Amino acid sequence: MKNIAMQRPKSRILSDRLTAREALSGGVGHEKSARGAVFLDRDGTLNVERGYILQPADIELIPTAGESVRTLNDLDIPVIIITNQAAIAKNLLSPEQLERVNEKLWAELSAAGAYYDALYYCPHSPEVTPECQCRKPKPGLILQAARDFNIDLSASFMIGDKLSDIGAGRSAGCKTILLLSNGGKDVYQGAEAASPDFTCRNVGEAIAWLLPRIQSG
């Protein structure tokens, strides 16, 4: 799925529909058959964990992130970011500010020759908003991305540094990879119970592991 214009796709929420142009360039109904994708958590997976990321300057790419995402891009494997952004529900961050933060992430990836095909976020918080279907460990955003981009979830991978990432990936029927480098000590506590398919230190190691296990193109 080449992003021909290399324009950053607008960040999506649950039920956010594809525009006609997006649909033509790789969305619903365009692909001949479903294929595997790589779903990635954002904070602590692609960029350094810093609690709530509220401004562009808070985005610092993790060293292996750019080159490993570029490897997926080169193989035409869809790269889709799935992120919980409870700061929105808590009024610490507006959707417009989130776009500016995501623009910075896009710029950092671009500098490494990499891009993402879509970014979906949950704007809710269990402390503020009623229970939603999109906050990880719920699989709602992954399921929607699968519909939007014609993705075979059983051939896909979810990579993240929290047990909620693993839970979302498993519920969606993906293989899962848990990163131990950024989520900190509590990740180690429940890692065994979460049963990720693979555990490693960073996104670079995760993508190196999945490459021989995913069908490309």
- Residues in contact with Mg ion by the rule CB under 5 A: 41, 43-44, 161
Q: Which of Zn ion, Mg ion, none does residue 134 bind to, with CB < 5 to 8 Å depending on kind?
A: Zn ion
Which residues touch 90 (CB under 8 Å, ≥6 apart)?
Answer: 125, 127, 128
Q: Which of Zn ion, Mg ion, none does residue 12 bind to, with CB < 5 to 8 Å depending on kind?
A: none
**CB 108 to Mg ion: min, Å:** 16
| Cα–Cα dist 66/83, whole Å | 18
| Cα–Cα dist 195/213, whole Å | 18
Torsions phi, psi for 160 (to 5 deg):
-165, 170
Q: Which of 41, 148, 161, 165 is catalytic?
A: 41
**CB 40 to Zn ion: min, Å:** 18
Helices (H), ranges, 58-139? 65-74, 86-89, 95-111
Q: Which token pair is 146? A: 């699968």
Nearer residue to Mg ion within complex by CB, 18 or 210: 210
Residue 122 sits in the site that holds Zn ion (CB under 5 A): yes
Q: Which token pair is 51? A: 């609690």
Residue 134 sits in the site that holds Zn ion (CB under 5 A): yes
Instruction: Look at the chain and count its residues.
Output: 217
Residue 124 sits in the site that holds Zn ion (CB under 5 A): yes
Nearer residue to Zn ion within complex by CB, 89 or 203: 89
Binding residues (CB under 5 A) for Zn ion: these are 122, 124, 132, 134-135
Residues annotated as catalytic are: 41, 43
